[in-house]
Amino acid sequence: MTTNKTGAQAETCPAQGLLKMLSGKWKPEIFRLAVSGPLRFNSLLRDIEGANKQSLAVALKELEESGLLSRVVINPKPLHVEYTFTDKGKALVPVFEQLEGLAG
């Protein structure tokens, strides 16, 4: 709950939580690319212009912690990791498609 200017208690808008999960450097772009299938870190690094390893790793970790992406280790040596949508992440795909339709 939050307090507004008058001091009254107000419920936090559910969309605020979602926007917080998706806000941040590279998250919308990661999300857009995840629609095509499993993602690998180095592929993302190549596909997202201007991304650097550190900020990309932080964004992926936050998306994983929020339950939108899952991280699966395919092979430990050499390390091969894939990121894929969770059911929660898949549920947001239509929302992103609608937003793209409004923007385009």
Domains along the sequence of the chain with CATH:
8-103 (1.10.10.10)
Average pLDDT value for residue range 18-37: 87
Query: The whole model's pTM is what?
Result: 0.79
Local confidence band at 9 (pLDDT 50, 70, 90 cut-offs): very low
Local confidence band at 3 (pLDDT 50, 70, 90 cut-offs): low
Answer for the pair 47, 33: CB distance below 8 angstroms, yes or no: yes
What tens digit of pLDDT does each residue of 38-89 get?
999 999 999 999 999 999 999 999 999 999 999 999 988 888 899 999 999 9
Answer for the pair 9, 2: CB distance below 8 angstroms, yes or no: yes
Distance (Å, whole) CA 17 – CA 73: 28
**Which tokens belong to 75?**
């092979």
Q: Residue 68 has what DSSP assignment?
A: S
Instruction: Specify the residue for token string 């923007």.
Output: 103
Contacts of 63 (CB under 8 A, 6+ apart): 21, 27, 30, 31, 69, 83, 89
Distance (Å, whole) CA 15 – CA 4: 17
- Amino acid 5: pLDDT: 55
